[in-house]
Structure 1
Amino acid sequence: MAGYGDLVRTPGVLRIIAAQLTARFPNGMTSLALLLHIEHVTGSYGAAGLVLAATSVGQAISGPVTSRWMGMWGMRKVLGLTTVICAVAITTIALVEMVLPAYIALGLIAGLSTPPVQSAARTIYPKLVNSRQLTPLFSLDASLQEIIWIIAPVLITFVATQIGTWEALIVIVVILVGGGSWFILSPEVGRVRIPRSKRRFGVVLTRPPVLLATVIGFLLIGACAAVEAGVVSTFGHGGPEAGLVLAVFSIGSLAGGLTFGHIPIGSWAMARRLAIVAAGLVLTSLSLNVWWLGGTLFAAGIGIAPALAVLFAMTSASVKFSDTAEAYGWIGTGQLIGAAAGSAVAGFLIDGTGPQGAYVAAAVFAVAGFAVAALFARAFPDLRHRDASPLPDTEPSPIIT
């Protein structure tokens, strides 16, 4: 933990972490708020599902595209434009009553214009700290993002149910614009320039570590999405149990990241960390008792943030600086598709076999992630004796002064 103390005292680190977490806070709110609002307006969960699907498709498409644009036009221009368009789309959904196709179109626009804050922040990190601090910084980032998933759903559900659904969407817009402005105006965002990539769009996926990170992100987030569906199905909406159990899951991840995330990363690091997640989720599927679920999900969570830290570090260390933003965009797309797949598979199993099926699905996703990491361990970079800095471009890399 002492290493984290030194890290946050590095000029600019705490500001960028706080700003990007605030800017990304709507990520933990938007889907739930759209679900509640569209269902309230149309009276149909099916209609709400279509809008959510359109939003997710838009986000999956935009991730690598807008991230690459930051190397062409600059981070501030891309982040500013996408923030404005996304805010206008969500505001229109909130305030204007329309036919379903119009809601779907606006949901797609909101997804396509989701600001690539995550890619921008993780591209900035290697220029913000020295090489020794980079892996702990990725770990701290992966750990603290759990705050979003602990607080954001509770906050937006309270606003939507106690005040109103359109008001909940406006709250999201306020945070989107406020947090986005804070991040965009941060000095570090203006000082780092991403060189224009000389490679074709998508070529970065041919790098084995990037492809592995995308596949493993798909499987890991798919497992988490299946858990979420299972917990909601188990406890319903009538009491606090679902929210508390999911919060415990995120707290386990936060604790694991802060405690173990700084450990040097070898080629077997991902497999070991995913083994913790897989073991916890296999145990989770054995009982629906609230205490059992809470305990096993806490244990499974301990491996999640450390695994994400490996994912971010291995990506940074395996590509040129000009390709880092696009690489993180592809990884984000993999995670979004994983979330959709995990929720869908869990939903079908819940309908067919009950809540237990969702936990089985989560365990299968997690075991598959472990298997991929173990089978392809030699393709993971060994960072125990080197840092996670990006590979040098042919042109000089920009440095924060």
Structure 2
Amino acid sequence: MSGYGDLLRTRGVARIIAAQLTARFPSGMLSLAYLMHVEGIFDSYGAAGLVLAATSVGQAVAGPLTSRWMGIWGMRPVISLTIAVCASSMAAIAFVPMELWGYMVVGLVGGLAYPPIQPAVRTIYPKMVTSRQLTPLFAIDASAQEIIWIAGPVMTTFVATQVSTVAAIVLAGAFLLGGGLWFLASPELGRVRIPRSRRSFGVVLKRPPVLLATVVGFLLIASCAAIEAAVVANFGKEGIEAGLVLAIWAIGSLAGGLGFGHVPIGPWALARRMSVVFIGGAAAMFFLDFWGLAITLLIAGAGIAPALAVMFAIVSVSVKFSDTAEAYGWVGTGQLIGAALGSAAAGFLIDGFGASGGFAAGAVFAFVGMVIAIMFKRAHPDLRGRDASPLPDTEPVSLPVS
């Protein structure tokens, strides 16, 4: 753990981790907040799932595109514009009564404008630390992301059940605006410039590690989102049991992320970590009481942050620096779509089969992710003895003829 202390004392590292974490907190809040808010209006988890699906379509289109724009217009202009539009869409869903199609349209716009903070910060990281420190930094970042995906819903559940779903959406908007301004003020955004990529849009997905991380990341976060919805449905909208169980889940993920952060990443690393998520998630279907879910989700959580850290590392080592923002944009898009569609799938299954249906959806997503990681092991770089720095950008140099 002393290595993490040294890393966090590196100039600017702790500050930018905290800023981007705050700005990205809505990623772990909006799916559940929208699910509970729209379900309360239309009395249907299925209707809420349609709004989440529309939001995910917008995120799918915008994620890699806005990330690529940062190499053209710069990080600050792109992030500023998207924050403004996204915050406006959140306010409309919270305060403006609409028909279902209206909520879907506004959700679509919000998804299209979701700020590309995740690809921005992961592009900046290699310029802030040494190559030896990069893999542990990805482990810390993955653990921080689990605060977003798991602790975020804890906060959302508490505010939505104890105050209102409108207050939960407003809180997410406050994190977006406050954290976004903090991140934009970070001097690293001025020191690091993303080079304009010379490759066509989407070509980066031809890199097998990028595609592997995008697909497995989608399935992992879909599993998390489905389980979150199932936990809420299992304990109902009253009381704090759901929030406590999700908090225990977060503790498991944080412990796993920090505990495995220095373990060398071999070609089986992603499959092993996904198997832990699947085992814990599958067991949750059969233990629906408080302590049963607390223990099974503690196990599942221990694989989440380590799996994400592996994905970040294999993407970084496989692409050129000019392509890192777009690559992480695709990975982030997969995760955001997973969050929305995982909640949507769980919502329909909860309507039909109760909370067990939601846990089953989470287990299936994790199982498919594990199988894909096994089947495509050859696409997984072996980082044992290597650093996770991006490939340098090179171009032809004219030499004088003697």
One-letter amino acid of the counterpart of residue 56, structure 2: S
One-letter amino acid of the counterpart of residue 4, structure 1: Y
CA distance in 2, matches of 1:118, 1:293: 30
5+ residue gaps, structure 2, are 397-402
CA distance in 2, matches of 1:364, 1:138: 27
Partner of 1:315: 315
Shift of 1:241: 2.1
Cα distance per residue 1:31-89 (max 9 Å; x no partner) = 33334545566677665444333222212221111111111111111101111122233
CA distance in 1, matches of 2:167, 2:350: 32
Cα distance per residue 1:255-299 (max 9 Å; x no partner) = 100111221111111122222222222333333233222112111
Partner of 1:236: 236
1:60 and 2:74 correspond: no
Partner of 2:51: 51
Counterpart mapping for 1:105-120 below 5 A: 105-120=105-120
Counterpart mapping for 1:290-309 below 5 A: 290-309=290-309
Q: Is the 8 A contact 1:146 1:251 kept in 2?
A: no
Shift of 1:347: 3.8
CA distance in 2, matches of 1:225, 1:94: 21
Partner of 1:372: 372
TM-score where L is the length of structure 2: 0.90
Q: Is the 8 A contact 2:59 2:112 kept in 1?
A: yes
One-letter amino acid of the counterpart of residue 119, structure 1: P
SS in 2 for 1:171: helix
Distance 1:343 1:28, change over 3 A: closer
One-letter amino acid of the counterpart of residue 87, structure 1: A
CA distance in 2, matches of 1:36, 1:347: 10
Counterpart mapping for 1:50-199 below 5 A: 50-199=50-199
Distance 1:233 1:89, change over 3 A: closer
Q: Is the 8 A contact 2:284 2:293 kept in 1?
A: yes
One-letter amino acid of the counterpart of residue 83, structure 1: I
Shift of 1:232: 2.4
One-letter amino acid of the counterpart of residue 261, structure 2: G
Counterpart mapping for 1:333-352 below 5 A: 333-352=333-352
CA distance in 1, matches of 2:103, 2:301: 35
Shift of 1:132: 0.3
Shift of 1:135: 0.4
CA distance in 2, matches of 1:394, 1:53: 40
CA distance in 2, matches of 1:13, 1:115: 21
Distance 1:200 1:350, change over 3 A: same
Using the TM superposition, name which of 159-168 and 377-386 deviates more: 159-168
One-letter amino acid of the counterpart of residue 232, structure 1: V
SS in 1 for 2:24: helix
Shift of 1:99: 4.9
Shift of 1:380: 0.9
1:6 and 2:6 correspond: yes
Aligned residues with identical type, % of pairs: 67
CA distance in 2, matches of 1:231, 1:43: 18
Distance 1:258 1:128, change over 3 A: same
SS in 2 for 1:384: coil
Distance 1:285 1:174, change over 3 A: closer
Cα distance per residue 1:216-246 (max 9 Å; x no partner) = 1122122222222332232222332222222
Distance 1:286 1:175, change over 3 A: closer
State the number of aligned residues: 396
CA distance in 1, matches of 2:294, 2:154: 18
Partner of 1:324: 324
TM-score where L is the length of structure 1: 0.90
Distance 1:9 1:103, change over 3 A: same
One-letter amino acid of the counterpart of residue 378, structure 1: R
Using the TM superposition, name which of 265-274 and 168-177 deviates more: 168-177
CA distance in 2, matches of 1:287, 1:167: 32
Using the TM superposition, name which of 361-370 and 29-38 deviates more: 29-38
One-letter amino acid of the counterpart of residue 292, structure 1: G
One-letter amino acid of the counterpart of residue 26, structure 2: P
Q: Is the 8 A contact 2:157 2:243 kept in 1?
A: no
5+ residue gaps, structure 1, are 397-401
Distance 1:92 1:203, change over 3 A: same
CA distance in 2, matches of 1:172, 1:366: 27
Pairwise CA RMSD of aligned residues?
2.4
Cα distance per residue 1:297-348 (max 9 Å; x no partner) = 1111111101100000000000111111111111122223333443344344
Partner of 1:399: none
Q: Is the 8 A contact 2:45 2:348 kept in 1?
A: no
Partner of 2:399: none
Partner of 2:247: 247
One-letter amino acid of the counterpart of residue 34, structure 2: L
Partner of 2:271: 271
Distance 1:285 1:169, change over 3 A: closer
One-letter amino acid of the counterpart of residue 358, structure 2: A
Q: Is the 8 A contact 2:31 2:343 kept in 1?
A: no
